[in-house]
Amino acid sequence: MFIEIDFNSEEAFYIQLRNQIIIGIAMNQYQEGDSLPSVRQLADRVGINMHTVNKAYSVLKQEGFIRLDRRKGAVIALDVDKLQAVKELQTNLRVDLARAVCKGVSEEEVHQMVRGIFEDMEKRGQ
Amino acid sequence: MFIEIDFNSEEAFYIQLRNQIIIGIAMNQYQEGDSLPSVRQLADRVGINMHTVNKAYSVLKQEGFIRLDRRKGAVIALDVDKLQAVKELQTNLRVDLARAVCKGVSEEEVHQMVRGIFEDMEKRGQ
Amino acid sequence: MFIEIDFNSEEAFYIQLRNQIIIGIAMNQYQEGDSLPSVRQLADRVGINMHTVNKAYSVLKQEGFIRLDRRKGAVIALDVDKLQAVKELQTNLRVDLARAVCKGVSEEEVHQMVRGIFEDMEKRGQ
Amino acid sequence: MFIEIDFNSEEAFYIQLRNQIIIGIAMNQYQEGDSLPSVRQLADRVGINMHTVNKAYSVLKQEGFIRLDRRKGAVIALDVDKLQAVKELQTNLRVDLARAVCKGVSEEEVHQMVRGIFEDMEKRGQ
DNA sequence: GTGGTCTAGACCACT
DNA sequence: GTGGTCTAGACCACA
């Protein structure tokens, strides 16, 4: 799987890492029980500091996407708290949709975009 | 309109302000040409520093939601760049939906949530 | 002559006024000895406060473009200090051209632009 | 490269900083990819507050002269929007030349001045 | 009275 | 050590 850092982005590197890994999981490119690359490997590969990868993994653990195993390193392990997830999604959507609506995006277009993203996730997951 | 700061939130105050104002615009509680409160007024009302409100207004200006009129202060003025907005929404949705999917949220549920948010925006806009 | 205020501009109203009047003089639309509109008239016509027009006229006087006559109000009266003018132009050009050069504008293009502006001034002056 | 603040100037410190850095870029003293000093360093060196340097950098970023890299700080990165640059230059020149013309500066003198400034920029760039 | 500018000091997140 | 955020207080230009 591709993981790439945009060094000019406003987003912190560890957030970029986290997001890309979560997208990987959603696309089934990483599956329950799979190991992520070691901290050192990933740091070298994408060209950032080990501490930063470490931070990303800590956050992923705390958010219930992986567990940290002494032998296997970071392992995909979803701790499903759907209520929490729904609440979080709701909050994020409210702001994102408001921004889009102000700029003239219609509900229909949003539904299509959602459809497209799910299609994308299912397709690549096969 | 209600604007409130959550002093316990991780989100920067100026981001909270920005988001609430954008939601207000999306809900038609603020309409094109309306003035926002002066930085000092709003700062006093919500209990934060003037400069923080100023920063929120600067960001809103730069993002094309308001303009700064020397006589009327901050005025709602949407600079509609739909292409940019769609791109931004796409990026945000991809991450948000990936997170939700990992935690077991279905496409159907997302569509309903989108529906609900738009309903909310239209209702209050009347 | 058209004088118009851009209420959204970053430039102070009195600076906008001053600049437009100076351009008017350069184009011979206002000639040595001509009277400018009264403070009140101009304020009403462009929709700003009298104080602001007053400030513009004061600056124009101080910079040697007009004199303030008790009976005739503001009268075009050029106090030519060419050395000072050259020095000022030099300073302004240095910054403006540096900005343009960084963005890929060539010397040739600048010369053409200068030519065009002078042409414009001479043409309308006839 | 020399960066100096004129504490007696009417120009805001952050504008002075911005202008000098832009002139530095135009003269190739700063080149694409070079890092600018950190806000604290530069603030100490020129004797102004850190936040003022920060503001200068923010403006430079917004105007497309630098980008902010999380590792390397402020990095020269020209976002060339020539159309925009030409328009801006045109506006500035129109006012500057009008002022000069009123004070008796000739078109020929302006061309020579432009020539001189470009020579200066090319010379030091070598 | 308004925003713009400048200073200053503090804490935190990030690298 | 770096920038980002927040607070705070002061002065000025502008309207």
- List domains and CATH numbers for chain D: 13-76 (1.10.10.10), 82-125 (no CATH)
This prediction's pTM: 0.92
Q: Does B82 touch chain C (CB under 8 A)?
A: no
Query: Is the pLDDT score of A126 beyond 80?
Result: no
- Please state whether strand F lies within 7 Å of residue B87 at its CB atom: no
Handedness of CA D93, D98, D103, D104 (dihedral sign): positive
Structure tokens at B91: 């990026």
Strands D66-69 and D73-76: antiparallel
Q: How many C/D residue pairs have CB atoms within 8 Å?
A: 140
Nucleotides of F under 7 A from a protein CB: 1-9, 13-15
Contact assignment for B102 to A26 by CB distance below 8 Å: yes
Contact assignment for A19 to B98 by CB distance below 8 Å: yes
Is the separation of the CB atoms in A47 and A82 below 8 Å? no
pLDDT at position D124, please? 66
Contact assignment for C8 to B67 by CB distance below 8 Å: yes
Residue nearest to nucleotide E13 (CA to C1'): A12
**Cβ contacts of D89 on chain C, cutoff 8 Å:** 96-97, 99-100, 105, 110, 113
Q: Which of D92, D48, D90, D55 is nearest to D74 (CA)?
A: D55
C-alpha A77: how far from chain center: 14
Question: DSSP 3-state assignment of B73?
Answer: strand
**Cβ contacts of C112 on chain D, cutoff 8 Å:** none
Structure tokens at C115: 């030519």
- In sequence order, the β-bridge partners of residue A66 are A76
Q: Does C23 touch chain D (CB under 8 A)?
A: yes
Structure tokens at B87: 């791109």
CA–CA gap between residue C59 and residue A83 (Å, rounded)? 65
pLDDT at position D14, please? 95
The spacing between the Cα labelled CA in C83 and the C1' in F9, in angstroms, equals 42
CA–CA gap between residue A115 and residue B89 (Å, rounded)? 14
**Angle of CA points A25, A118, B95, to nearest 5°:** 55
Locus of tokens 């302000």:
B17
Contact assignment for B117 to A104 by CB distance below 8 Å: no
Q: What are phi and psi of B76, to 5 degrees?
A: -60, 125
Chains with at least 3 CB pairs less than 8 angstroms from chain C: B, D
Query: In percent, how much of chain D has pLDDT > 70?
Result: 97
Radius of gyration of chain A (CA): 16
Question: Position B125: which residue type?
Answer: G
Query: Is the pLDDT score of C107 beyond 80?
Result: yes
The spacing between the Cα labelled CA in B20 and the C1' in F10, in angstroms, equals 31
Query: Is the pLDDT score of A124 beyond 70?
Result: no
Mean pLDDT calculated for residue range C28-56? 93
* Partner-chain residue, chosen from C86, C103, C117, that has the shortest CB–CB distance to D105: C86
Please name the residue of chain C whose CA is at the shortest distance from the CA of residue D28.
C102
CA–CA gap between residue B108 and residue B114 (Å, rounded)? 10
**Cβ contacts of D90 on chain C, cutoff 8 Å:** 113, 117
Read off the pLDDT band of D2 (50, 70, 90). confident
pLDDT at position C2, please? 81
CA–CA gap between residue A45 and residue A67 (Å, rounded)? 22
Q: How many A/D residue pairs have CB atoms within 8 Å?
A: 9
**Cβ contacts of D71 on chain A, cutoff 8 Å:** 7
The CA distances from residue C124 to A60, C16, C24, C117, C118, in Å, are: 68, 20, 10, 11, 10
Count Cβ atoms within 10 A of the Cβ of residue D7 and give its class: 0-12 exposed, 13-18 middle, 19 or more buried. exposed
Contact assignment for A8 to D71 by CB distance below 8 Å: no
Q: Which of residues 38-77 of D touch C (CB under 8 A)?
A: 64-65
- In sequence order, the β-bridge partners of residue A76 are A66
Count Cβ atoms within 10 A of the Cβ of residue D86 and give its class: 0-12 exposed, 13-18 middle, 19 or more buried. middle
Read off the pLDDT band of B126 (50, 70, 90). low
**Cβ contacts of B26 on chain A, cutoff 8 Å:** 97-99, 101-102
Q: Which of D103, D119, D105, D106 is nearest to D26 (CA)?
A: D119
Strands B66-69 and B73-76: antiparallel
pLDDT at position B34, please? 93
- In sequence order, the β-bridge partners of residue D74 are D68
Q: What are phi and psi of A57, to 5 degrees?
A: -65, -40
The spacing between the Cα labelled CA in C42 and the C1' in E10, in angstroms, equals 50
Nearest Cα of chain B lies from the Cα of C8 at a distance, in angstroms, of 5
Q: B55-100: per-residue pLDDT in tens?
A: 999 999 999 999 998 888 899 999 999 999 999 999 999 999 999 9
Q: A61-117: per-residue pLDDT in tens?
A: 999 999 998 888 999 999 999 999 999 999 999 999 999 999 999 999 999 999 999
Q: Which of B105, B22, B109 is nearest to B64 (CA)?
A: B22
Is the separation of the CB atoms in D37 and C112 below 8 Å? no
Residue B12 CB-half CA count within 13 A:
10
Selected for mutation to probe chain D from C20, C108, C117, C122 (highest D CB count within 10 Å) is C117
